[in-house]
């Protein structure tokens, strides 16, 4: 029985990165569909849940992709509503790699400190990666502050995550260095999740910071999102702090992404969002 993965992308052109990882993760065939919305997804879901016998339903799965996490969440939720009884297949949400990237970064943080009771600041945390990292750290017991250039954008992202995952987040504006420094007051963990090629923190802003323990930058395009961090940093100690660059945790992200796809074909009722993806990341990081 062939393993069929329907890649449902909320953008017009389905993301090629996700397609490649889908094949590498074990799909025999990936059906790529763009412009997916809650309104037009129903017929595809029907086609996936009604076709195969119960024992074979696990060989069909859904993968929600696209650049916008809000659109991805809406699609994921709409598909869930189409399922009933055993008429369901496993599904994963990873808009812009948000879940797998965030889970890898947070899993590495957990190697160095227990986030419970720590203060974590997610710089430019309004994108898919930042939002999901905030969720994962909050679920581990950290007090999490999400920043944006605009207070309302940060607050809106926090509201959505709070409602979806039953957590509490703080939002703040950090449009300049002074505001960013204020946000970092008392922080133990800082994770930069700004758009590619945008520097959010200079080296001098964190090098002598009195409480920071872990400094992580998700940005893989120069200049670094956090000055003084090398992309390949992986637990590198700089200025007395544990540092990670985008490539430093990017290997785990890819391994995790492939493992999530593989897991979709193990049962027909798995729903992989932030908590489930993080759980798998926590297992995989142990072998690194």
Ligand X SMILES: NC(=O)c1ccc[n+]([C@@H]2O[C@H](COP(=O)([O-])OP(=O)(O)OC[C@H]3O[C@@H](n4cnc5c(N)ncnc54)[C@H](OP(=O)(O)O)[C@@H]3O)[C@@H](O)[C@H]2O)c1
For residue 212, how far is the Cα from the chain centroid?
Answer: 23
What sign results for the dihedral spanned by CA atoms 129, 161, 274, 244? positive
Q: Classify residue 1 by its DSSP letter.
A: -
Strand 60-65 to strand 29-33: parallel, antiparallel, or no bridges (unpaired)?
A: unpaired
Angle at 44 between CA 39 and CA 45, to 5 degrees: 90
Find the shortest distance in angstroms from Cβ 150 to ligand X: 6
If one asks whether residue 160 binds ligand X (CB under 6 A), the answer comes out as no
| Nearest CB to ligand X, comparing residues 150 and 236 | 150
Q: Which is nearer to ligand X, 18 or 48 (CB)?
A: 18
Q: Which of 7, 60, 148, 180 binds ligand X (CB under 6 A)?
A: 148
Q: Which stretch binds ligand X (CB under 6 A): 55-63, 74-82, 203-211, 246-254?
A: 246-254
Of the residues 74, 220, 271, 284, which one makes contact with ligand X according to CB under 6 A: 220
Distance CA 152, CA 110 (A): 30
Per CB under 6 A, the list member of 14, 110, 224, 250 interacting with ligand X is 250
Token match 């650049």: residue?
A: 67
* Rounded to 5°, angle at Cα 161 from 184 and 283: 85
Min dist CB 128 to ligand X, Å, is 4
Q: What is the DSSP string of 69-121?
A: HHHHHHHHHHHHHH-BTTB--EEEE-GGGHHHHHHHHHHHHHHH---TT-EEE
124 vs 229 by CB, closer to ligand X: 124
Q: Compute the CA torsion angle 145, 147, 153, 156 (nearest 10 deg).
A: -10
Q: Using the rule CB under 6 A, which residue among 30, 75, 103, 129 binds ligand X? A: 129
Q: Which of residues 38-67 bind ligand X (CB under 6 A)?
A: none
Give the strand pairing for 234-238 and 241-244: antiparallel
* 72 to 111: interface string for ligand X, x by CB under 6 A: ------------------------xx---x----------
Asked if 118 and 241 count as a contact pair (C-beta separation under 8 A), the reply is: no
Per DSSP, 38 falls in state T
Does 219 bind ligand X (CB under 6 A)? Our answer is yes
Residue 288 makes contact with ligand X by CB under 6 A: no
Query: Which span (147-155, 164-172, 201-209, 236-244) binds ligand X, by CB under 6 A?
Result: 147-155
Decide: is 130 part of the binding site for ligand X (CB under 6 A).
yes
Residues that bind ligand X (CB under 6 A): 96-97, 101, 124, 126-130, 148-150, 153, 193-196, 198, 218-220, 246, 250, 253
């Amino acid at each position: 029985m062939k393993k069929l993965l329907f890649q449902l992308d909320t953008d017009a052109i389905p993301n090629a990165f996700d397609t490649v990882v889908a094949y590498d993760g074990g799909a025999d065939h990936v059906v790529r569909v763009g412009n997916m919305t809650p309104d037009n997804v129903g017929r595809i879901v029907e086609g996936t849940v009604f076709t195969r016998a119960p024992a074979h339903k696990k060989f069909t799965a859904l993968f929600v992709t696209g650049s916008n996490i809000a659109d991805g969440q809406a699609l994921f939720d709409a598909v869930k509503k189409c399922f009933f009884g055993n008429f369901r297949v496993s599904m994963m949400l990873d808009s812009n790699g948000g879940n797998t990237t965030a889970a890898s970064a947070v899993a590495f943080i957990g190697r160095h400190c227990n986030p419970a009771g720590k203060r974590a600041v997610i710089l430019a945390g309004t994108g898919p990666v930042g939002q999901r990292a905030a969720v994962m750290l909050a679920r581990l017991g950290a007090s999490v502050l999400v920043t944006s250039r605009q207070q309302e954008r940060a607050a809106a992202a926090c509201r959505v995550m709070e409602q979806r995952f039953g957590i509490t987040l703080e939002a703040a504006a950090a449009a300049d260095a002074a505001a960013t420094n204020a946000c970092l007051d008392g922080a133990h963990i800082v994770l930069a999740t700004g758009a590619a090629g945008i520097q959010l923190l200079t080296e001098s802003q964190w090098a002598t910071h009195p409480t920071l323990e872990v400094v992580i930058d998700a940005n893989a395009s120069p200049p670094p999102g956090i000055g003084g961090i090398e992309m390949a940093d992986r637990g590198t100690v700089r200025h007395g702090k544990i540092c990670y660059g985008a490539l430093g945790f990017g290997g785990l992200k890819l391994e995790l992404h492939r493992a999530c796809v593989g897991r979709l074909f193990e049962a027909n009722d798995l729903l992989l969002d932030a908590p489930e993806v993080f759980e798998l990341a926590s297992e995989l990081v142990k072998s690194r």
